[in-house]
Structure 1
Amino acid sequence: MDILGGLLDGPRADGAFLLRSVFTPPWSLRIRDLAPLSVVVVAQGAAWVVPSTGRSTRLEPGDLVLVRGPDEYTIADRPETPPQVFVEPGQRCTDAAGRSMSEEMMLGLRTWGNAADGTTMLVTGTYERASAVSERLLRALPATVVLRRDEWSSDLVTLLCDEMQRDVPGQEVFLDRLLDLVVLAAVRTWLSDQEDGAPGWYRAAADPVVGPALQALHLRVSEPWTVASLATQVQVSRAVLARRFTATVGEPPMSYLTSLRLALAADLLERTDRTLTSIAHAVGYTTPFALSAAFSRERGVSPTQHRSRTQVPRPA
């Protein structure tokens, strides 16, 4: 897996919140669900995205916006339309008085809104829990990323809209994977357009020294790497590797490796039932005690505490 692939492997849908919303003006949704990552695509009509800070943006059919949480934002027919529905954590929807609106606005299978024949249709996908592996990627994103229809693979949304109306065995998993593809296409497009504004780890992939070094760390994270062994791997001196890696990525190679290992450990703690010993060996720590000490020092909680706070019971 390449570097970007490894980072994008974090926000992978697993029972993600996925919904078509159909509206007739006036309409306005205040989103305060604290989700780490959401994607909204205008399938029909038009909409405005109004972030908590920064300027509002009009979205046309086929346009997409990625929203990095947990800040609140508004999606509406016009920026000045006052919010009528508030989306809370857990995708609980209320009006301004706190009365539940979820059942009242249901229009059918994975469809919701104020009018079945509304002029505007949105497709919304929300990752309510992003994997820890994606933290580096999420930090690189601005509060909102807007891509116009001709800038990305909007055909994926057409397929997603069609599939959202089907109710067959395995459909939820199929929709999760489609949502992942939409997000992957959007993030990859945005990164490729940033040039010098892209994060260091993304630009480093093209560096003839740092790129192979990053690739080696990601592919063999459990190996007992040192600066010297990594330099040997990419056939440069330790001094050259340390200098170029730090200048390009923004941190020394061993610091990057530690962050990568702990993010992978956090991901395994959240998503699997593997023992701490097994996870420690998988991410390059010789003992569970060594992993626990590093994890607690970096994140302020023990691995056990992290697992108890974040792990979601898996459905039968």
Structure 2
Amino acid sequence: MDALAGLLEGPRARGALMIRACFDPPWSVRVEDRAPLTVMLMVRGEGWVVPDDGERIRLTAGDLAIARGPAPYTCADDPATPPQALILPGGECAYPDGRLLNGSMDLGVRAWGDRLDGSTVLLIGTYLMRGEISARLLDALPPLLSLTSREWPCPLTPLLMDEIARDEPGQEVVLDRMLDLLVIAALRAWFARPEAAAPAWYRAQADPVVGRVLRLVQDDPAHPWTVASLAAKAGVSRAALARRFTALVGEPPMTHLTGWRLALAADRLHATEETIGAIARQVGYGSAFALSTAFKRMYGVSPQEYRAREARPGAA
């Protein structure tokens, strides 16, 4: 398993918000939902994604943008168009003055906006809960990224447009899996761009030594790895591995392994009801106490406190 696959193998979309937004200019929507990750795919027309901080992005037909929360942003036909609606946590919609829209912009099955045949159609997929996307992956992404149709012609657009209009059993599960596939494919294309400033762990997987070590710890985090055992698997000395790994990844091998184990534990605390002891064994700790000590050092709270916090409504 490579580094990106490992991060995307954890918790996945479960009941993600997936809609067609259909507008005629002028239109503008302020997004304050604090969602961890939102994918926007422009199917027809054009528009802008304008973060409160950072550079705005123009989208034309076929372009895709990914916004990493919780920072708010605005989607509009023009950056100067004032917001006409607010998207709040949990997918609630309101007027700019705070009054709830109460379905006044609903257009049928997973459609929202002015009219179904509007001049602008934007597919939007939102992961509503933080545990559905690995925290280490989110930390590796900029607040806003984009791919043009020239850089990556999305092959999933026709399938998404067909499925999102269906009112049939199982639609939610199909759309969840399609959203996961869309994110994986888009991030793979984005990370592969030289100008994307991909994280060090992603670039390092191409190295014949460090890439092998990364795959070893991704595949079997519960193994009692040491620098010596990893070096032996990679066919180099301990000192050579330590130098090369730190230079390429930006942290020593065991520091990286600890971060990966704790990220896996955090995902499982959110996604499962397994005991702390069971999770500890799965990620390479000998006891619940050992995991709790390392987890609190990394996240500032105990595993029990983290699980309780993530379970609260609006925790994302």
TM-score range (shorter-chain normalised) is over 0.9
Distance in 1 (alpha carbons) for counterparts of 2:183 and 2:235:
36
- Aligned partner of 1:45 in structure 2 is 45
CA distance in structure 2 between the partners assigned to 1:11 and 1:188 by the alignment: 18
Map 1:178-217 onto structure 2 (within 5 A): 178-194=178-194, 197-217=197-217
Aligned to 1:169, the other structure's residue is in SS state coil
5 Å-filtered alignment, 1:145-184, equals 145-184=145-184
What pairs with 1:1-316 in structure 2 (closer than 5 Å)?
Answer: 1-10=1-10, 12-131=12-131, 134-194=134-194, 197-311=197-311
- Give yes or no for contact 1:11–1:130 (8 Å, CA) kept in 2: no
Instruction: Summarize deviations over 1:35-71 as a string: whole Å, max 9, x none.
Output: 1110101111111111112232221111110111111
Cα separation, 1, equivalents of 2:289 and 2:132? 20
Mapped contact 1:132–1:266 kept (Cα < 8 A) = no
Q: Is this contact kept in 2: 1:12–1:130, CA < 8 A?
A: no
Q: Give, in angstroms, the shift of residue 311 of structure 1.
A: 3.3
CA distance in 1, matches of 2:12, 2:153: 18
Q: Given that residues 32 and 89 in structure 1 are in contact (C-alpha distance below 8 angstroms), is that contact kept between their aligned partners in structure 2?
A: yes
Secondary structure of 2:43's counterpart equals strand
Give the aligned CA root-mean-square deviation in angstroms. Answer: 1.6
Cα distance in 2, alignment partners of residues 11 and 28 from structure 1:
32
Supply the AA of the counterpart residue of 1:198. A
**Distance in 2 (alpha carbons) for counterparts of 1:312 and 1:178:** 27
TM-score by length of 2: 0.95
* Equivalent-residue separation in structure 2 for 1:68 and 1:132 (angstroms): 13
| CA distance in structure 2 between the aligned counterparts of 1:94 and 1:145, rounded to whole angstroms | 26
Deviations 1:187-236 (A, max 9, x none): 00010003683211011101111011111111110011111111111111
**Cα distance change on mapping 1:303 and 1:259 into 2, 3 Å:** same
Q: Normalised by the size of structure 1, how large is the TM-score?
A: 0.95
Deviations 1:141-180 (CA, angstroms, capped at 9, x unpaired): 2221111112224120221111001122221111101111
Deviation at 1:133, TM superposition (A): 6.5
Distance 1:266 1:176, change over 3 A: same
Q: Could you tell me the percent identity over the aligned residues?
A: 54
Contact 2:134 2:267 in 1 (8 A): no
Q: Which moved more, 1:141-150 or 1:63-72?
A: 141-150
For 1:309, what is the secondary structure of its paired residue? helix
